[in-house]
């Protein structure tokens, strides 16, 4: 009886250990994808906020936004923001000062129209 109980315990222990290994492998593969999805969503939110301000023509007003840290390694060419997480489009040509792009976290910005484009400072 005691040997049978120990065998059952070992079988359950083996199944539990195997389940943990499968879970760890799944998390190892899906965690980077989830982080990329989150970073992409943060950038999309940032671009949408600026596009909303441009569409409503709310210029020169201070605006509180969250600046994603993933923007620091991005480039802007005209109205396209290129990042490691994809390309995002602004409504018009935009230039963003480097002090804003590399400032991760909450920031106060102003959108200033300039010769058919806008500058974010």
Beta bridge partners of 111: 120
Q: pTM of the entire structure?
A: 0.71
Query: What range defines the domain where residue 79 resides?
Result: 2-120
What phi, psi does 54 have (nearest 5°)?
-65, -45
Name the domain count of the chain. Answer: 1
Residue-wise pLDDT for 79-99, tens only, equals 999 998 899 999 989 988 888
The series of mean pLDDT values per 10 residues for the chain, 121 residues long, is 72 86 81 79 91 88 87 88 92 87 85 83 79
């Amino acid at each position: 009886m005691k040997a049978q109980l120990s065998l059952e315990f070992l079988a359950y222990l083996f199944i539990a250990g195997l389940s943990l290994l499968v879970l760890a492998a799944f998390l190892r593969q899906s965690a980077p994808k989830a982080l990329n999805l989150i970073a992409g969503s943060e950038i999309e939110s940032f671009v949408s906020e600026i596009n909303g301000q441009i569409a409503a023509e709310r210029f020169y007003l201070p605006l509180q936004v969250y600046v994603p840290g993933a923007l620091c390694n991005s480039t802007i060419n005209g109205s396209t923001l290129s990042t490691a997480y994809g390309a995002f489009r602004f409504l018009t040509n935009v230039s963003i000062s480097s002090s804003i792009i590399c400032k991760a976290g909450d920031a106060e910005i102003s959108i200033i129209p300039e010769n058919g484009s806008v500058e974010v400072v």
